[in-house]
């Protein structure tokens, strides 16, 4: 393909550039788009952007010659059945497993969105938001561009309620309820000498101010089960908040306790115990309230059975609410 100069129409206003490119240029591998964005070959208004840049109506994209996928370069998307929690003509909600990425790229050949697009080949599917590969639970996918814009507007205005479950090391203090920190992404040299992205706590004013609220605490022997509500959205927000206060999430390889994770892994508990549990949103068609709940995944359930709550009554509540 030759060099393309493309003006973004209003229909794609605020769509993420990586999703736009994948839907607009059929047959081009997603990894190729990440490469040309990362190297600066793709320009927006003559400048460089990240793969997470949200397009604005009238943006001018300069797109270098693209290579289409061939039988040798295209990644095969397997047939994996995903657990659908909700679906209509405008959106769907998936209960994402804790070992599946939300999209391909950066060494990952496929994710939830590629699986769904292969199963719904004639649909215009887009991720409304993202959760980490190692995090399980609710993931929203829009089936129409109008639904995507409406749902992302709720995220921007913070009117969409997002509740998580996490199991942490230690007994959480009952009076610690509001976790407010400034966070900033940075790259550091990892244990195998490659650069890896981490999120760090920085002084106020030097990063993005984030807020996580602890709604409920249940004690599990030497651990705590927390219900959390996030009032802001930032990469690794919950994981960094809890680790910073001295209560890392079980199975967190990046921000958690290496020694504890190793001991628990020897007992068969190696998954990150963070679950996107509930979502409350206004339907993009009629603004009616939609309440969604994602059952916890087997690794989460296994840990609760191994380390039951200290109080039998609470154990019964957990079976009713989470299992």
Asked if the model's pLDDT at residue 19 lies above 70, the reply is yes
Task: Please tell me the CATH superfamily of domain 158-321, with its number.
Answer: Pseudouridine synthase (3.30.2350.10)
- Is 132 in the active site? yes
Architecture, CATH, for domain 83-154: 2-Layer Sandwich (3.30)
Question: How sure is the predictor about 316, in pLDDT bands with cuts at 50, 70 and 90?
Answer: low
Report the alpha-carbon distance of residue 128 to residue 140 in Å, rounded. 5
- Helix (H) / strand (E) element for 199: namely strand 195-202
Q: Which of 59, 88, 124, 132 is catalytic?
A: 132
Q: How many CA atoms lie within 13 A of 63 on its CB side?
A: 23
Please state which CATH class domain 4-63 belongs to. alpha beta
| Higher pLDDT among residues 64 and 69, named by residue | 64
Question: How sure is the predictor about 275, in pLDDT bands with cuts at 50, 70 and 90?
Answer: very high
Question: How sure is the predictor about 110, in pLDDT bands with cuts at 50, 70 and 90?
Answer: confident
Span(s) in the chain for CATH 3.10.290.10: 4-63
Name beta bridge partners: 184. 200
Per-position b or e across 290-314, b if 16+ CB within 10 A of its CB? bebbbbbbebbebbbeebebeeeee
Please tell me the pTM assigned to this model.
Answer: 0.79
């Amino acid at each position: 393909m030759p060099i393309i100069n493309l003006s973004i129409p209003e229909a794609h206003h605020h769509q993420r550039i990586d999703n736009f490119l994948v839907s607009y240029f059929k047959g081009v591998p997603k990894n190729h788009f990440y490469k040309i964005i990362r190297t600066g070959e793709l320009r927006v208004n003559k400048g460089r952007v990240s793969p997470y840049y949200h397009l604005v109506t009238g943006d001018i994209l300069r797109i270098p010659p693209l290579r289409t996928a061939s039988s040798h370069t295209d990644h095969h998307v397997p047939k994996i059945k995903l657990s659908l929690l909700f679906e209509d003509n405008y959106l769907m909600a998936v209960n994402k497993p804790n070992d599946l990425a939300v999209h391909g790229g950066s060494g990952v050949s496929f994710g939830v969105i590629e699986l769904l697009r292969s199963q719904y080949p004639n649909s215009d599917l887009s991720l409304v938001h993202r959760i980490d590969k190692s995090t399980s639970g609710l993931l929203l996918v829009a089936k129409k561009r109008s639904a995507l814009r409406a749902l992302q507007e709720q995220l921007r205005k913070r009117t969409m309620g997002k509740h998580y479950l996490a199991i942490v090391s230690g007994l959480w203090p009952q009076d610690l309820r509001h976790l407010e920190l400034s966070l900033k992404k940075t790259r550091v040299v990892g244990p195998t000498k490659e650069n890896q992205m981490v999120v760090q706590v920085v002084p106020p004013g030097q990063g993005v101010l984030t807020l996580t609220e602890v709604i409920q605490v249940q004690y599990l022997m030497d651990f705590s089960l927390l219900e959390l509500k996030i009032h802001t959205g930032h990469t690794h927000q919950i994981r960094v908040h809890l680790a910073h206060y001295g209560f890392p999430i079980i199975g967190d390889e990046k921000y958690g306790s290496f020694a504890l994770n190793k001991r628990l892994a020897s007992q068969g508990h190696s998954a990150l115990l963070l679950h996107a549990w509930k979502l409350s949103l206004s339907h993009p068609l009629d603004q009616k309230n939609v309440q969604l709940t994602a059952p916890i995944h087997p690794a989460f359930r296994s840990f609760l059975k191994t380390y039951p709550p200290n109080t039998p009554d609470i154990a019964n509540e957990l079976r009713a609410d989470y299992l």
